[in-house]
Amino acid sequence: MKINEHFLQLKDSYLFATVGRKTAAYKAAHPDKDVIRLSIGDVTLPLAPVVIEAMHKAVDDMSHKETFKGYGPDQYCYGYEALIDSIKRSYARKGVALASSEVFISDGAKSDCGNILDIFSDDNVVLVPDPVYPVYLDTNVMAGRKIVFADATEENGFLPMPDDSVKADIIYICSPNNPTGAAYTREQLKAWVDHARARDAVILYDAAYEHFVTDDKFARSIYEVEGAKECAIELCSYSKTAGFTGVRCGYTIVPEALVRQGVSLNKLWARRQSTKFNGVSYITQMGAAAVFTDCGERQIADNINYYRRNAKIIADCLDSLGIWYTGGKNSPYIWLKCPNGMSSWEFFDYLLENAQVVGTPGSGFGKNGEGFFRLTAFGSEENTRKACARIKALLQK
Ligand code: MLT
């Protein structure tokens, strides 16, 4: 027996586990302190009433012989048509037409952005931005793939553009971005699509935060860009859109037009999913199907606007302190430059010890994240206001 030695190349623990461990140690040593977490992007508002109602009804369905459901329909890899249709309608509102066979229901974008790699050879070169959501990097390290980085820096507004001298077969893009909150315009995305098509590369486009876009110049789906269906797979999630972090549901779009070496990637993914995955629970899928109804859209908009207000509270606080940041608009993340030249982990300790506020050190997302720090807008309004008041009092000294 041999282990997968590529795992030995990984950092000891996942970034958010390290942040969690440090926070727990501080709390154990200071049980009287009120610690506010604005670190992991985990939602705090409950599910929308329309979702709860649909889930209750689905529970009732499961309790009667006539309406009970076992495995989901295998026609669409265990996705129920009601859910697939609602996702298609939501894409149609963005001007994107999808076939039902192009929509794959999953338990979230995090698993899919690792699992999707099963359909690609291990000797592909992978391009990830730096800083990066750790999952893109770690899942490729686990497979031993060669990884190259696209530098995202203060100079390019944390939005790297294609470099024709870099040869990559798989390109990860997340917009609005985690961790930096920066978002690509349609024109910028078009440059990536043209770049990928010219090289036969495939873009893995993470659109988990698309519902936070308010400014029309930013795309909410890469398929709003001409030619994207021939080169991009889109990963999406109900986690941040509808508060499903604890429920687990997402969807991945693999267009029929996406063909490499004469083989349909859609067919490969369908084969992979029907072999290694048995679908998302009926109750969860029925809850998710309520999200993109008219009533659902209105209710999730209320929740998203609540988080947008939190983002503005944080952005206003940083503005008043003269601290540079990206995000906060069109994104639930605020990516700030650590004050007084502090390193990311120095600022983490400084904030935790002096303001009892927890964020995520930028260096945990890559070398270009050193000296930066991420705060999320997913806390409660009360805690966000309290955290900002403490940060202001501390940094104004
Ligand atoms: C984050 O904080 O970056 C996200 O919550 C992580 C995730 O969505 O997996």
Q: What atom in ligand 1 is closest to the CA of residue 208?
A: 8
Percentage, residues of the chain above pLDDT 70: 100
Testing ligand 1's pocket by substitution, the residue of 178, 331, 360, 374 carrying the most ligand atoms inside 8 A of its CB is 178
Instruction: Encode 78-94: b = buried (16+ Cβ within 10 Å), e = exposed.
Output: bbbeebbebbbebbeee
Q: Is the CB of 110 under 6 A from ligand 1?
A: yes
Structure tokens, 289: 């199907």
Q: How far is the CA of 326 from the centre of ligand 1 (A)?
A: 18
Do 53 and 78 contact (CB within 8 A), yes or no? no
pLDDT band at 27 (very low <50, low <70, confident <90, very high): very high
* Residue 157 near residue 134 (C-beta atoms within 8 A): no
Q: Please tell me the residue having the least CA distance from ligand 1 atom 5.
A: 41
Residue 259: alpha-carbon gap to chain centroid: 25
133 Cα–ligand 1 center, Å:
8
Query: Could you read off the pLDDT of 185-205 as tens digits, one per residue?
Result: 999 999 999 999 999 999 999
Output the pLDDT for position 397: 72
Distance 260 CA to ligand 1 centre (A): 31
Q: Distance, CA 198 to ligand 1 centroid (Å)?
A: 32
For residue 180 and ligand 1, the question of a CB distance below 6 A is answered with no
Q: Is the link from the previous residue into 176 a cis peptide, with omega within 30 of 0?
A: yes
The tally of CA atoms less than 13 A away on the side-chain side of residue 278 is: 3
Give the separation between CA 258 and CA 266, rounded to whole angstroms: 7
Judge whether 100 and 254 are in contact, CB under 8 Å. no
Cβ of 250 closer than 6 Å to ligand 1, yes or no, is no
Average pLDDT, the chain: 97
d(C-alpha 310, C-alpha 127), whole Å: 33
237 lines ligand 1 (CB under 6 A): no
CA–CA dist 35, 357 (Å, integer): 6
Query: Which domains occur in the chain, in start order?
Result: 5-46+297-395 (3.90.1150.10), 49-294 (3.40.640.10)
CA distance 293 to 270: 27
Residue of minimum CA distance from atom 4 in ligand 1: 41
Return the H-helix or E-strand segment holding 354: helix 344-355
CB 241 less than 6 A from any atom of ligand 1? no
pLDDT in tens, 33-77: 999 999 999 999 999 999 999 999 999 999 999 999 999 999 999
For the Cβ of 40 lying below 6 angstroms from any atom of ligand 1, the answer is yes
pLDDT tens-digit series, residues 218-271? 999 999 999 999 999 999 999 999 999 999 999 999 999 999 999 999 999 999
pLDDT in tens, 93-103: 999 999 999 99
Phi and psi for 7 in degrees, rounded to 5?
A: -60, -25
Residue 14 confidence (pLDDT) = 85
Is 114 near ligand 1, meaning CB less than 6 Å away? no
For residue 19, report the distance from its CA to the centre of ligand 1, in Å: 12
CB 304 within 8 A of CB 211: yes
pLDDT of residue 53: 98
Interval 122-131 mean pLDDT: 97
Structure tokens of 158? 């944390």
Task: Give per-residue pLDDT as tens, 200-230.
Answer: 999 999 999 999 999 999 999 999 999 999 9
Question: In angstroms, what is the span from residue 165 Cα to ligand 1's centroid?
Answer: 31
With 90 as the cut, is the pLDDT of residue 13 above it?
A: no
